[in-house]
Amino acid sequence: MKNVFSFQQLFRKKSIAQIHADAAAGYIDEPGHSSLRKELTVVDLTAFGIAAIVGAGIFSTIGGAAFNGGPAVVFLFIFTAIACGFSALCYAEFASRIPVAGSAYTYAYASFGELIAWIIGWDLLMEYAIGNIAVAISWSDYFTGLVAGYGWHISDFLTMDFVTASKGYAKITELLASGMTMEQIQLNPDWTYTLNAYNAWVKAPLIGGFHFVCDLPAFVITVLTTGLIFFGIRESKRASNFLVALKILVILLIIVMGAFYVNPENWSPFAPNGVSGVLKGVSGVFFAYIGFDAISTTAEECQNPQRDLPRGMIASLVICTGLYILIALVLTGMMSYKKLNVGDPLAHVFGPAGVNLPWISGIVAVSAVAAMTTVLLVFQLGQPRIWMAMSRDGLLPRIFSSIHPKYKTPWFSTLLAGFAVAVPTQFLNLTEVTDLTSIGTLFAFALVSGGVLFLDRHDVRHDNRFHLPYINGQFLIPGILLAIFAGIWLISPETIQVFLNTGSAEKLPMWTFLIFAGVLAVLSFKRRLSAIPVLGLLSCTYLMTELGLTNWIRFGIWLLVGLALYFTYGVRKSRLRTNLAFADQR
């Protein structure tokens, strides 16, 4: 029968009962046909969360954050953890009610309706795909540096993407044409990376006139990770658990050893650049925390998802926050924050420029490679399961939800996710993907937090499943907002001055947030909204304002592309809308 378009149907919600039924039946509606293997316990889920959270943030971006914020960067970790904590509690509430693969996409379908669900699903595709491209490229850099330390130097043209090498060649050629000599370029440290790109292009073998330049390590690790995920969740969890145990042991070793070399004088001044300096690192720090989102995508592979998913999310967030705070204190205590703006801060403080313990630097390098591997593993695991959930609803073709009869994994989505990461690593040098991935994740967190407000809080369950406690936000939310604004005015007036001196366009995200915060304060007072999801909304939307107007524009373009795809394919193929039209005609 003809599926008649209705604007109202774009916002039709999918009942929790229907979500459970569709997950049990799969796309083909054959009971048991699409069932995934239930392997994961609370320990495995916690390990997955730690695997995804403890990665580039603790081995790389923490250096830049400490350089900008000084020792006070610990407050940024705490604030970000609190913001993520509110969202994690909201995720846990949804996970206990809807223990189904799909993460924020599935939760949005139950709370906001199909159109918003598609938007968040499309957003998650960007978060996972672009984020994993960045992780794979970073893994390649870590691995190349590690093997170089053991005397194995991989050729530049095998460790760099094609576009970077091409641009490097063009730039050095331009400098030589302007009169500079190669010796002058080599002596200038600012041109080192560009010179490496030039050498990669020059030394690359020619195949039919084409320069063969590729990031081989990034490609190989993506293929190996994809293969591991393809062959089963059991194999994936074993690899993850082993690597997580390894890197936690190394981090604890770093904390204990570093504590003996801490000089308290390095903690003064504690916040040399004020609040604005601390917040400069928000993108890199938040990028380190987004891992617990991936845990929720494995709901259908948990032995007891309604109990274990909330526990795994919260436990991983608490453990990782503690590790980040301790590492930040040790780093800034061992060395002045002014010297920490390096790509490998942990190895740096134990190297010749620091306390000169080269054996620890070597251990750090090995652990960094292991850490990046687990991040790639967990996010490559999560992306196919979101595609699978969207396919079940008809918003993507059926093959995306096809389950391998032997390995019980979404085989097509897994292979496609590997392809979508492995190929771009050969052509892209994504210097700003951290910001773009962070804004996408914050958007997902905000929608999940907001979605809880649409659930029936009087739906009290009499079992041991997690239930988000209701805290009346009538006076609490307006009071918190007033206290924050008053505190900034009194303690850090320079922050307000910086905002007033910012260009009009750059102020737009903050003005939008201030209006949104005011609306939420009024609604909280009038409707007695639950405080935890409101605080999650406020925290995430505020962090989005710190990512700059440029990233908002890029994010908006990505969402527009997604809407175009939805209205050309998804709106016609949606199973929910098809079923509704059929029921109406009956």
- The string of DSSP letters for 287-343 reads HTTTTHHHHGGGGGGBSSHHHHHHHHHHHHHHHHHHHHHHHHHHHHHHS-GGG--SS
- Of 417, 437, 455, at which residue does a domain stop? 455
Q: How confident is the model at residue 464 (pLDDT cuts 50, 70, 90)?
A: low
Q: Which of 408, 429, 455 is the last residue of a domain?
A: 455
Q: Does one domain contain both 54 and 121? A: yes
Please answer whether residues 427 and 69 qualify as being in contact, where contact means their C-beta atoms are separated by less than 8 angstroms.
no
Judge whether 313 and 92 are in contact, CB under 8 Å: yes
- Assess if residue 501 is contained within a domain: no
User: How confident is the model over 64-72, as a mean pLDDT?
Assistant: 82
Based on the fold, state whether residues 195 and 124 are members of the same structural domain. no
Structural domain includes residue 58: yes
Q: Percent of the chain beyond pLDDT 70? A: 86
The yes-or-no verdict on residue 56 having pLDDT over 70 is: no
Q: What is the pLDDT of residue 522?
A: 94
Indicate whether 275 and 185 sit together in one domain: no
Let me know: does 146 contact 169? Beta carbons within 8 Å: no
Q: Which residues pair with 206 in a beta bridge?
A: 211
Same-domain check for residues 76 and 209 = no
Q: Are residues 196 and 248 in the same domain?
A: no
Question: Is it the case that residue 583 has pLDDT exceeding 50?
Answer: no
Q: Which of 54-63, 176-185, 569-578 has the lowest mean pLDDT?
A: 54-63
189 with 278, same domain?
Answer: no
Cα 288–Cα 291–Cα 292 angle in degrees, nearest 5:
130
Residue 431 has pLDDT above 80, yes or no: no
Quick check: is 474 in a domain?
Answer: no
Domain of residue 248, residue span:
7-147+220-455
Cβ atoms within 10 Å of 522's Cβ, excluding its own: 12
Selected residue with higher pLDDT from 57 and 404: 404
Longest Cα–Cα distance of the chain, Å, equals 81
Domain shared by 430 and 322, yes or no: yes
| Same-domain check for residues 207 and 225 | no
The domain total for the chain is 2
pLDDT digits (tens, 9 = 90+) for 152-164: 888 888 888 888 8
Q: Is 210 exposed, middle or buried (0-12, 13-18, 19+ CB in 10 A)?
A: exposed
Only one residue has tokens 């406020």, namely: 538
Q: Could you report the per-residue pLDDT of 370-389, keeping only the tens digit for each?
A: 888 888 888 888 889 888 88
Residue 100 lies in a domain: yes
Nearest to 371 by CA among 27, 95, 53: 53
Considering the domain architecture, whether residues 137 and 278 belong to the same structural domain is answered as yes
Q: Which residue has the higher pLDDT, 345 or 105?
A: 105
Residue 2, pLDDT score: 47
Q: In this predicted model, what pLDDT tens digit does every residue of 357-371 receive, in sequence order?
A: 878 877 887 888 888
pLDDT, residue 167, reads: 86
Res 532: pLDDT: 92
The phi, psi pair for 210, rounded to 5°, reads -105, 130
Tell me the Ramachandran region of residue 181: left when phi exceeds 0, alpha when psi lies from -120 to 50, beta otherwise: beta
User: Tell me, what's the pLDDT at 93?
Assistant: 87
Separation in Å, CA 315 to CA 311, 344, 448: 6, 27, 19
First to last CA, the chain: 10
Two tokens, residue 21: 């039924």
pLDDT higher at 242 or 354: 242
Average pLDDT value for residue range 283-293: 68
What value does the mean pLDDT take over residues 6-11? 68
- How high is the pLDDT of residue 287? 64
Higher pLDDT, 498 or 475: 475
Where residue 225 falls among pLDDT bands split at 50, 70, 90? very high
58 and 179 belong to one structural domain? no
Distance (Å, rounded) from C-alpha 364 to C-alpha 200?
A: 28
Q: Tens digits of per-residue pLDDT, 522-547? A: 999 999 999 999 999 998 888 888 77
Q: Is residue 308 assigned to a domain?
A: yes
Better pLDDT: 414 or 150: 414
Res. 585: pLDDT tops 50 = no
pLDDT at 477: 92
Q: What is the pLDDT of residue 57?
A: 63
CA angle 17, 19, 22 (to 5 degrees): 110
Assess whether pLDDT exceeds 50 at residue 514. yes
Confidence of residue 3 (pLDDT cuts 50, 70, 90): very low
Instruction: Report whether pLDDT(405) > 70.
Output: yes
Examine the pLDDT at 26 and tell me if it is beyond 60: yes
Query: Tell me: the pLDDT tens digits for 82-114?
Result: 878 888 888 888 888 888 877 888 888 888 888
**Domain assignment of residue 519, yes or no:** no
Is the domain of 360 the same as that of 398?
A: yes
Q: Are 110 and 188 in the same domain?
A: no
Domain closes at, from 455, 475, 507: 455
Q: Which of 124, 569, 34 is nearest to 577 (CA)?
A: 569
CA–CA dist 382, 376 (Å, integer): 10
Average the pLDDT over 173-185 and give the result.
Answer: 85
- Domain CATH number, residue 279: 1.20.1740.10
Residue 571 lies in a domain: no
Q: What mean pLDDT comes out for the span 388-401?
A: 88
Portion of the chain with pLDDT greater than 90, in percent: 9
- Assess if residue 346 is contained within a domain: yes
Q: Is the predicted pLDDT of residue 443 greater than 60, yes or no?
A: yes
